[in-house]
Amino acid sequence: MDILQIVLLGVVAAILYILLKEVNKSLAFFLILITGIIIFFSVIQQIQLIFETIRTLGNQANIQTLYLNTILKIIGISYIAEIGSHLTKDAGLDSVSKYIELAGKIFILLLAVPIITTVIEAIVGFLPNV
């Protein structure tokens, strides 16, 4: 599915949502949820190509796979948390949306701890022993 088809699908879903939300709000939300899933699965191949390209470049630059995998996981968590946050916000659950965003940030921080530790150890290694 190319970008024109994705945009067209999104516009049609938005129009249907506007028409349905007054009649049946839960059906309108379900329409948006299904539209999001269809769009996500239509771009998943491009996401896989991006990840493969990043891995290839990382291997060529001799970046340890631990760091590369961590960065890819962080990217994945940020997108998943954003999608979940927007879906719950669209459902009118702003407080749940904020908790999803917070959980995403905490998981990202947890994944970043080994990288942060390595950077701090490298900086300390450069400092003269006092």
DSSP string, 95-121: HHHHHHHHHHHHHHHHHHHHHHHHHHH
CA–CA gap between residue 1 and residue 39 (Å, rounded) = 9
Of the candidates 35, 41, 42, 48, the residue with the CA atom closest to the CA atom of residue 75:
48
Does residue 59 form part of some domain?
no
Does residue 38 form part of some domain?
no
pLDDT-based confidence at 63, cuts 50/70/90? confident
Does residue 53 form part of some domain?
no
Exposure of 97 in the CB half-sphere (CA atoms within 13 A):
12
How many residues are listed for the chain in this entry? 130
Does residue 123 form part of some domain?
yes
24 backbone dihedrals φ, ψ, rounded to 5°: -145, 95
Does residue 92 form part of some domain?
yes
* Tens-digit pLDDT profile for residues 80-121: 999 999 989 988 899 999 999 999 999 999 999 988 898 898
**The tokens 């659950």 sit on which residue?**
93
Determine the pLDDT at residue 118.
Answer: 86
Does residue 99 form part of some domain?
yes
Determine the pLDDT at residue 85.
Answer: 93
Domain count, the chain: 1
Q: Enumerate residues 6+ apart whose C-beta is below 8 A from 115.
A: 67, 70
> Which range in 18-22, 40-44, 96-100 is most confidently predicted, on average pLDDT?
96-100
Residue type, 59: N
pLDDT surpassing 70 at residue 130:
no
Determine the pLDDT at residue 66.
Answer: 81
Does residue 19 form part of some domain?
no
Instruction: Write out the residue range of the structural domain in which residue 122 sits.
Output: 64-130
Does residue 22 form part of some domain?
no
Computed over every residue of the chain, the mean pLDDT equals 89
